[in-house]
Amino acid sequence: MSSVQNLLLESLLGTKHVDNAAIIKIHARTVLVSSPGFNISPSDIRVLVNGFSKNPVQVRRDGLYFREKDYKCVRADERSLYAKKRIMLAVHFDQPGGPENLYLKEVAKPEPGPGEVLLKVAASALNRADVLQRWGQYSPPPGASNILGLEASGHVVTVGPGCQGPWKAGHSAMALLAGGGQAEYVTVPEGHLMPVPKGLTLIQAAAIPEAWLTAFQLLHVIGQVKAGETVLIHAGSSGVGTAAVQLARQAGAIPLVTAGSLDKIKAVEKLGAAAGFNYKEGDFSAATLEFTKGAGANVILDCVGGSYWEKNVACLALDGRWVLYGLLGGAEVHGELLSKLLTKRGSLLTSLLRSRDKKTISGMGKVLGCGACLWSPRHRGPEATWARALPQNYKAELVAAFTQQILPHFAQDEPGSLRPVVDTVFPLKQVAEAHVYMEQNKNLGKIVLEVTPVP
């Protein structure tokens, strides 16, 4: 190591909040002496020198920001560059609370580990889990990013060691995440990536992974829906709700929904709901029993919980499956839940997707047959029974089954095709406004945050 580089490293050690440095000019002679791992190109050297010569005072104060590079210049003069390496903007909050706590912060840019892919994020959809996490009521799973965002779309930047999938730099993709999507970059296990369906934009693609995989899991893995059965879907105009309506129809089931306005009910009926009930104006339980001529719903998808338990049990069919995946209506239950559920011979099933570890073995449920993975049917047809329980890599296998069986049905302007429902798009810098909008329950379908504008 040269004496000049030794001096550089000593200077770097005494500089706070700086990761790397380079001396680019000594005694009117342009050179390049940098700390290990810090790569600066000749073209960036010229930007720095020219920028300093044009406005030295501003450069000393503000530095020079190389936006598309892996570093930001935080201090510069006519001969030196001190820089933070690998930074990005991400949604952040310093303490739990309201949406006013949200802001964009410069944080370390992640590096893909073994079996991971680095995605440059174009868009990320908002989920109720993001709101709960902001309030301090829903912590990320161990090992997951603390940054909000459970789904994203964008372009592959780099592929980590050991990846064996088809992903290459430049490929467009959408990703299921345990966190980290509301940032300029996110790392994703390669098995949690999916191709963007033909004809869909990256904005639309961002509205698919978490909502549609949740609905797919609830209906087929947990609820084991069958053709001809009636499915009652609470929050039918939400992202998961609009996905579940379409998937239930595709499976030959009869979807019913609850929603908070007539406009939302009409919109979801256009997606395939057989009927909708305004929970603010009437008893959805009585309406469900009336629609089914007293038989009740074979499957109930419930994100509300406590405040709905009695009405859910009342309209549950004999041997019905009540699938609980949220507690928006509280967690407390007062009354004879167990005896009433026992009378119906009903099953109360619970599920969360975010907290499932990518290596956890699940003994719960069975899923649609998939010739490309471990889930194979004993026989084909509407009454098929599915032979294999969920395999070891739960999320990866769920993504694989969804990719093979469901993604081909996403297409523009084709009868019977599936489509993500996007309500509103906010730029990332307006993330606080997006949270307010979600908490006001105004949306029909997904709220999407545009992270990087895509032509």
What whole-number percentage of the chain has pLDDT above 90?
A: 50
What pLDDT was estimated at residue 77?
55
- Which residue shows structure tokens 């609370």? 97
What pLDDT was estimated at residue 39?
61
Higher pLDDT, 38 or 124: 124
* Most confident listed range (37-51, 235-249, 302-316): 235-249
What pLDDT was estimated at residue 187?
95
Adjacent-strand bridge partners of 394: none
CATH of 223-350, one of 3.40.50.720, 3.40.50.1980, 3.40.190.10, 3.40.718.10: 3.40.50.720
DSSP string computed for 400-443: HHHHHHTGGGB-TT-TT-B---EEEEEEGGGHHHHHHHHHTT--
What pLDDT was estimated at residue 296?
93
- Which residue shows structure tokens 């550089």? 8
Q: Is the pTM of this model over 0.85?
A: no
Mean pLDDT over the full length of the chain: 80
| 133, pLDDT greater than 80 | yes
CB burial class (10 A; 0-12, 13-18, 19+) of residue 283? Answer: middle
Residues of the chain with CATH 3.40.50.720: 223-350
What pLDDT was estimated at residue 33?
58
- Measure the CA–CA gap between 295 and 288, rounded to whole angstroms: 9
- Which residue shows structure tokens 């089954």? 401
Higher pLDDT, 203 or 5: 203
Residues in the chain: 455
- Measure the CA–CA gap between 23 and 154, rounded to whole angstroms: 35
Residue 177: CB atoms within 10 Å: 26
Higher pLDDT, 205 or 23: 205
What pLDDT was estimated at residue 73?
57
Residues of the chain with CATH 3.90.180.10: 87-210+421-450
| 211-220, 302-311, 356-365: least confident range | 356-365
Residue 440: CB atoms within 10 Å: 8
Task: Calculate mean pLDDT across residues 23-48.
Answer: 59
Task: Calculate mean pLDDT across residues 279-304.
Answer: 92
| 302, pLDDT greater than 60 | yes
| 415, pLDDT greater than 90 | no
- Measure the CA–CA gap between 244 and 264, rounded to whole angstroms: 15
What pLDDT was estimated at residue 71?
54
Give me the amino acid identity at 338. Answer: L
Q: How confident is the model at residue 336 (pLDDT cuts 50, 70, 90)?
A: confident
| 233, pLDDT greater than 60 | yes
- Measure the CA–CA gap between 336 and 353, rounded to whole angstroms: 29
What pLDDT was estimated at residue 142?
82
What pLDDT was estimated at residue 251?
92
| 240, pLDDT greater than 70 | yes
Could you tell me the CATH superfamily of domain 87-210+421-450? Medium-chain alcohol dehydrogenases, catalytic domain (3.90.180.10)
Adjacent-strand bridge partners of 418: 410
What pLDDT was estimated at residue 300?
94
Write the CB contacts of 364 (distance below 8 Å, at least 6 apart in sequence): 221, 222, 349, 351, 389, 390
Instruction: Answer for the pair 40, 73: CB distance below 8 angstroms, yes or no.
Output: no
- Measure the CA–CA gap between 184 and 287, rounded to whole angstroms: 46
Six-digit token string for 381: 């047809």
Task: Calculate mean pLDDT across residues 354-370.
Answer: 46
Higher pLDDT, 199 or 42: 199
Q: How confident is the model at residue 70 (pLDDT cuts 50, 70, 90)?
A: low
| 182-196, 207-221, 383-397, 412-426: least confident range | 383-397
| 14-18, 173-177, 278-282: least confident range | 14-18
User: DSSP letter at 230?
Assistant: E
User: β-pairing, 230-233 with 254-259?
Assistant: parallel
Q: How far is CA 225 from the centre of its chain?
A: 25
What pLDDT was estimated at residue 366?
39
- Measure the CA–CA gap between 50 and 201, rounded to whole angstroms: 39
Q: How far is CA 189 from the centre of its chain?
A: 13
Q: How confident is the model at residue 64 (pLDDT cuts 50, 70, 90)?
A: low
Task: Calculate mean pLDDT across residues 377-403.
Answer: 58
From the list 252, 259, 311, the residue with the least C-alpha distance to 285 is 311
Instruction: Answer for the pair 165, 199: CB distance below 8 angstroms, yes or no.
Output: no
Task: Calculate mean pLDDT across residues 361-368.
Answer: 38
Q: How confident is the model at residue 354 (pLDDT cuts 50, 70, 90)?
A: confident
Adjacent-strand bridge partners of 300: 232, 322
Give me the amino acid identity at 292. Answer: T
What pLDDT was estimated at residue 24?
55
